[in-house]
Structure 1
Amino acid sequence: MSAPLVKRSLVDQALERLRERIAQGAWQVGERLPTEPELGAELGISRNTVREAMRVLAFSGVIEIRQGDGSYLRANSDPLATVQVLSRCTLEQCREVRRMIESEAIRLAAQRRTEADLQSLEEALQQSGQHYHDDLESYIACDLVFHQRLVDAAHNPALSGLYQYFSSQVGQALRTTLSQTPRRQSVFDLHRLILDAVRDGDVERARNLSLTLIDEP
């Protein structure tokens, strides 16, 4: 039996151990998990704490709780845990991830964008431009829409889904940067140049402009 959990929130610690067990392959996807009393005995915690931890895993889609039947594993990774990791990354770490995800997505967008994508991007850029020199939160909200639509124009659901998880950290990075440095028109104009490159199908230019924008202070 594992040592009893102490100090930190028992639910948080139970979640951590359950996630570890799942990541280590203790159960296969589709397999029925041990009962709450069995998990409680293994973790050294109460049944109520186990129940709360299982509810969190069910909410994030990791397990499925079937009334009268038990809990079944649906996925071997927890997206909420991923979001927690992302929320702790530094400004430079955020830039590194954006270079990998966003620049590649924009490169693909230049190859795959449709007329509907271009129209949607144009509308988002116009909305963003109206707020660039106004309220910071309004601008960030509009800017995130534009960038998400750029990624969506790659027509890769995995990239789109990944960027949705990451966009909150992008927003926080923008909030930090733009609250410390003046907003320059030349930086916003890079968005227009990126959209023009995507419209023209200029793959390398779109990617390079994306990297330039990401690296702007």
Structure 2
Amino acid sequence: MSTPGVRLPLADEVVARLREAVASGRWAVGAKIPSEPELIAEFGVSRGTLREAVKALAHAGLFEVLRGDGTYVRATSEISGTAQRVYREHADEDVLQVRFALDTQAARLAAGAADAAVVEVLRALLLQRRESWDAGDYEAWSSADWEFHLRIAEASGNTLLHELYESFGDVFHGTKMVQRLEAGFDGCLAAGHEELLEAIEAGDGDAAVRTVIANLDYCMGWMPGR
């Protein structure tokens, strides 16, 4: 005898549909979601139910509701939205210390899992990083550098680690990285980058961890007050 399925509360169903619209790329980060009347018609729910669902996702950091303007997508998932909000509430040094844990584990796992195709993508990103730095294009440099680290996390094969790492986004690497662009800062340090790629290509997890730590120690030295 089968057990009939339990139907989710209507607001939870709407939350799931809103979440899927973001996850599928229908609404990109930074985009404004459709108006209340449009969503009410699409989902076939009341204004109160829709607002309850939007409020839940805003609380989770996925959405931001701007009174008199609309609702915007601020993260790709609740875990990313919550993490970004939490990271903003802590000092740069605290955030960087968390990256020690994530970067080292991502590097070790990637050294045992990355294939030739991944290595080539990483090599191209490092070339882009170098060319952007030499040209003084710091926005492109930061973007290439972050994409390199994000690809390492993806190459680890651990989807949760990758999602946690991705949640740093602009909170750490964008805004906070640019604040350290002072005279003497080496934006193309080989440690944690070219040396890391060599270790990954060689399948040497221990060497990968060592060079990541060297890079993050260097970054720590450029924190304000150091």
SS, match of residue 127 in structure 1: helix
Tell me, yes or no, if structure 1 residue 54 matches structure 2 residue 31: no
Question: Partner residue of 1:176?
Answer: 179
Question: Partner residue of 1:9?
Answer: none
Gaps of 5+ in 1: 1-28, 36-47, 63-76
Question: Partner residue of 1:32?
Answer: 9
What's the RMSD between the two structures over aligned residues?
Answer: 3.0
By how many angstroms is 1:34 displaced?
8.1
TM-score, scaled to structure 2: 0.62
- Cα offsets for 1:59-100 (capped at 9, x unmatched): 7698xxxxxxxxxxxxxx943233211222211111111101
By how many angstroms is 1:189 displaced?
1.8
Percent identity reads 23
- Using the alignment, how far apart are the partners of 1:197 and 1:31 within structure 2? 48
SS, match of residue 126 in structure 2: helix
Native 8 Å contact 2:11 2:49 kept in 1: no
SS, match of residue 188 in structure 1: coil
Amino acid at match of 2:9: R
Question: Partner residue of 2:42?
Answer: none
Native 8 Å contact 1:94 1:173 kept in 2: no
Amino acid at match of 2:210: N
- Using the alignment, how far apart are the partners of 2:176 and 2:104 within structure 1? 17
Using a 3 Å threshold, how does the CA distance of structure 1 residues 215 and 169 change in structure 2: closer, same or farther? Answer: farther
Using a 3 Å threshold, how does the CA distance of structure 1 residues 110 and 184 change in structure 2: closer, same or farther? Answer: same
Using a 3 Å threshold, how does the CA distance of structure 1 residues 34 and 160 change in structure 2: closer, same or farther? Answer: closer
Question: Partner residue of 1:13?
Answer: none
Gaps of 5+ in 2: 1-5, 13-46, 63-76
SS, match of residue 179 in structure 2: helix
Residue-pair matches, total: 162
Question: Partner residue of 2:168?
Answer: 166
- Using the alignment, how far apart are the partners of 1:198 and 1:124 within structure 2? 15
Native 8 Å contact 1:61 1:78 kept in 2: yes
By how many angstroms is 1:176 displaced?
1.7
